[in-house]
Structure 1
């Protein structure tokens, strides 16, 4: 028979061993949950950075794609797991507007930012058989044929939705939005002619652009890019868009907020090394990304600014379901 004294001693020993166990972290393989489907920008970044992080940690990270709900499925899953540091979320920008879009009550405030790896530049790409040679021509066509043009999207709050909302705020037009589980499937559908155009992160479209499988109508930036010198910035034809810039997708690695401090410290160091890997950095820059490699408080500040700018932009454009004020999101 187990006495109260023995039970007390058992629990005391378990509590005391907690810090020691954390110091031995990681002593088994980790799970990495990728927010979007195979072939999309988040998937590409996750699979490129992980080998270096595994080497630094001394353990494997088993990657799984869990797309759906504009990122809400993956965030809910990781949030439901034990806060032991063994389940990582490879995420993009989407959770920062889940609250105002009515998609979820979970955002990155519920996680610790192990590393905000890089921020991307968005581009507007179109099927090669479409008649437009510029974004202005696309918009003018959409104004003549409301709802006839099909836009690929990753759902409410995704890059395509936000860029289209911003553009509609500048010059009203209407298109049909066709949702996909990530930029990869969306770009595949675009090439097949199932949708006509799609705003996406440049990193997801870079190889398709180089291969001539899609055409680029505009860069969602105030200036042209060295990697796409002949593609105009969106502000050329729509100068009012400048009020939203700089803006773009970002990629990061997160762990549940209550994870042990020792585990968080080891994850931060491992992914800092991985993000600084010369080969990985070159791949990211070649794909039009701006390296950040930040964590902790610096990353929290970046995430808060992104959330404020995007949430209030969507709200003022009438595209949000709830006011940012409801969630104490300050005006930028």
Structure 2
């Protein structure tokens, strides 16, 4: 019995030491995490842009990166990963190491791709940092096109069913949804032509290869101001500040649901809250810098800032909204 008691005492002591050791490891691990977060960042940040260089998303990302670097104390390098209506780049961003060193600029397609059956990607695979931009779709055509109003465009398209080529930023992109929604609600048969981003679509329009685009005012503003293109209307409930003389579809009595794009910043969902918080604070401060706000104004981009909580709620609502539209248009496979 004495030997058994002695054995039991030794066993209990061993267990206590084991528990204490584990607790010490956890404490050490927690301390390491705190140390990592407190010293973040210690190297340059990569900002993934899931679209082609030269478009509204790319230019917004580069301007914001420049305005944010001083608030982070490290450089921010932009990498374009176009394709799949943004799915390629956003998927890479979702699968990046959750260490805070890879941030992604996402846009409205993030809330649409799964409804379209094009990707399993959803906003739940990210931790939001904030929203920085919101823009409506705008119907833009060559300056010498045989129509000067939305009604004239509709009339021409009905007289030439299937012949009017409308470029978009890729199948399932917001600009594709905008054109499809416009066509359905006005009973038009349009020829939808996909590109890898808005910039290539606008270039094709300038070259006379397509007849119209339904991209944001910002993405056609230089060509409109130069007199090469003209915008017939914006799909919004109010006029664009960048094109105050261009009427809304509603003003022209064309009943089309307002459709537009937005752009925001995210990190992989498992990124530590402390690191995500530092990134959120830095990027939102960057969005307030005069160099960024002036850039947005001068380039016709709508400045709309929301913090991480507001952005998350906004994306959830957008997912529901576009899920309903895609179902109504019978575009998705879900």
Matched, 1:219 2:231: no
Name the residue aligned to 2:150. 135
SS at match of 1:319: coil
SS at match of 2:215: strand
Q: Structure 2: how far apart are the matches of 1:234 and 1:37?
A: 28
Aligned residues: 314
Matched, 1:154 2:169: yes
Cα offset, 1:238, TM superposition:
3.9
- Single out whichever of 217-226 and 76-85 deviates more from structure 2: 217-226
Cα offset, 1:298, TM superposition:
0.9
Q: Structure 1: how far apart are the matches of 2:193 and 2:159?
A: 20
Deviations 1:130-177 (A, max 9, x none): 211122222222222221111111123323211112212321111212
Q: Residue 107 of structure 2: which of 75, 84, 92 is its match? A: 92
The structure number with the bigger radius of gyration is 2
RMSD (Å), alpha carbons: 2.1
CA contact (8 A) 1:151 1:176 kept: yes
Q: Structure 2: how far apart are the matches of 1:224 and 1:30?
A: 37
Matched, 1:35 2:47: no
In the superposition, relative to structure 1, how do residues 203 and 9 fare at CA in structure 2: closer, same or farther (>3 Å)?
Answer: same
CA contact (8 A) 2:217 2:242 kept: no
CA contact (8 A) 1:98 1:104 kept: yes
Cα offset, 1:286, TM superposition:
4.3
Aligned residue runs from structure 1 range 21-170, under 5 A: 21-170=36-185
Q: Structure 1: how far apart are the matches of 2:125 and 2:325?
A: 23
CA contact (8 A) 2:165 2:193 kept: yes
SS at match of 1:123: strand
CA contact (8 A) 2:217 2:243 kept: no
In the superposition, relative to structure 1, how do residues 150 and 239 fare at CA in structure 2: closer, same or farther (>3 Å)?
Answer: closer
Q: Residue 261 of structure 2: which of 225, 242, 249 is its match? A: 249
The TM-score with structure 2 as length reference comes to 0.88
In the superposition, relative to structure 1, how do residues 269 and 148 fare at CA in structure 2: closer, same or farther (>3 Å)?
Answer: same
The TM-score with structure 1 as length reference comes to 0.88
Q: Structure 1: how far apart are the matches of 2:292 and 2:184?
A: 36
Q: Residue 311 of structure 1: which of 323, 326, 334 is its match? A: 323
SS at match of 2:255: helix
Name the residue aligned to 2:289. 277
Specify every segment of 5 or more residues in structure 1 that has no aligned partner in the other structure, as ranges: 323-332
